[in-house]
Amino acid sequence: MAYAERCFIIHNYFIMYLDSEKKKEIFAKYGKSNTDTGSSEAQIALFSYRITHLTEHLKLNKKDYSTERALKMLVGKRRRLLDYLKDRDIERYRSIIKELNIRK
């Protein structure tokens, strides 16, 4: 396989791992509707999906430090949202932790 073909395949993979259909599916499952993009649960679910993807990427590319930084920032954002949700409504917090299987 030529270098240009490999780059194209890799490039498409990184673009298509989170398309609009996947976002709608996540928002429909964890939000109030598929257009509910602002609720804490929907954002936490989206961040969790992105975190798992970046974690898999870093398992293959151990020296990708910019992705490692992005992953740490995403984990921090998710943690802050979880803390916000925990302060506001503990039942919603417990349910999203259980659904997404996030350890704490």
Q: What is the CATH number of domain 3-100?
A: 1.10.287.10
Contact 104, 94 (CB under 8 A): no
User: Which pLDDT score is estimated for 37?
Assistant: 87
Q: Report the C-alpha gap between 8 and 67 in whole angstroms.
A: 20
User: Which pLDDT score is estimated for 36?
Assistant: 84
Q: Report the C-alpha gap between 83 and 74 in whole angstroms.
A: 14
Determine which helix (DSSP H) or strand (DSSP E) holds 2, and give its type and residue range. Answer: none
Within 13 A of 103's CA, how many CA atoms are on the CB side?
Answer: 0
Residues of the chain with pLDDT under 70: 1-16, 104
Structure tokens at 89: 């409504």
What would the DSSP string read from start to end of 28-48? HHHSSSTT--SSHHHHHHHHH
